[in-house]
A and B are shown apart, each in its own frame.
Chain A
């Protein structure tokens, strides 16, 4: 099992560009999450999904969009990148609200 796979690992974007961070899991988990981690701060939830076709906003959703067309995939879309979106992004999945999480290896994004 690959677990949770995130691509790319690193990316530099120019202000105003767009990109999609990919996240795939092969554990048949219903719950999937996107977090961002800024230096000295705890992880902040951007968006989450409790199953295919269902998504909802987390704490910091502005500037991002998600979709969940399949159980396996949960891509995060950045439209009109801004320097404030420079961060490390983690995707995670789990069986449910009171189960452990499996994290992807992260995507380090820099917006210049």
Chain B
């Protein structure tokens, strides 16, 4: 069965800390997406990657195809980074399968 698991489910950290959110999947994929869902509910696409690493500002996404694992890192975290971060995976030609999300809270 094609599955996506995220960890941790909840993460609370102090402002300035380095944050890591993990995503593991069960079988080979063609692409992996990281999304951010704000407290108001809106969803923003952060990254799409199929190999290697991508960086945008303080956000870094990596993927290890052999280990079927991706990480989303946030450097110098800030309270405005508080959100739910969602991993979504495309298994082959199938539609996206979504993880249940990691709720991140950054305390000033």
A residues within 8 Å of B by Cβ?
40-45, 48, 58-59, 88, 90, 92, 97-103, 105-106, 108
Cβ contacts under 8 Å, B88 to chain A = 42-43
Knowing A42-B4, A90-B43, the reply to whether A99 touches B98 (Cβ < 8 A) is no
Cβ contacts under 8 Å, A105 to chain B = 41-42
What distance in Å separates the Cβ of A88 from its nearest Cβ neighbour in chain B? 7
Q: Are A106 and B4 interface neighbours, CB within 8 A?
A: no
Question: Chain A interface mostly helix, strand, loop or mixed?
Answer: loop
Knowing A103-B42, A103-B43, the reply to whether A98 touches B30 (Cβ < 8 A) is yes
Q: Give the distance in Å from the alpha carbon of A106 to the alpha carbon of B35 in the complex.
A: 15
Q: Are A43 and B31 interface neighbours, CB within 8 A?
A: no
Cβ contacts under 8 Å, A40 to chain B = 100
What distance in Å separates the Cβ of A58 from its nearest Cβ neighbour in chain B? 6
B residues within 8 Å of A by Cβ?
4, 30-31, 33, 35, 41-45, 47-48, 50, 86, 88, 90, 93, 95-101
Q: Are A42 and B86 interface neighbours, CB within 8 A?
A: yes
Chain B, residue nearest A90 (CB) = B43
Q: Are B98 and A42 interface neighbours, CB within 8 A?
A: yes
Chain B, residue nearest A42 (CB) = B98
Q: A88: which of B41, B48, B100, B101 is its contact (CB, 8 Å)?
A: B41
Q: Give the distance in Å from the alpha carbon of A80 to the alpha carbon of B101 in the complex.
A: 31
Q: Give the distance in Å from the alpha carbon of A40 to the alpha carbon of B6 in the complex.
A: 12
Q: Give the distance in Å from the alpha carbon of A101 to the alpha carbon of B43 in the complex.
A: 10
Q: Are A98 and B90 interface neighbours, CB within 8 A?
A: yes
Cβ contacts under 8 Å, A48 to chain B = 95
Q: Give the distance in Å from the alpha carbon of A89 to the alpha carbon of B8 in the complex.
A: 25
| 7 examples of A-B residue contacts, CB within 8 angstroms | A42-B97, A42-B100, A45-B95, A100-B48, A101-B33, A103-B42, A103-B43
Q: Give the distance in Å from the alpha carbon of A105 to the alpha carbon of B41 in the complex.
A: 7
Q: Are A43 and B90 interface neighbours, CB within 8 A?
A: no
Chain A, residue nearest B38 (CB) = A105
Q: Which among B48, B50, B93 has the greatest number of chain A C-beta atoms within 10 A?
A: B48
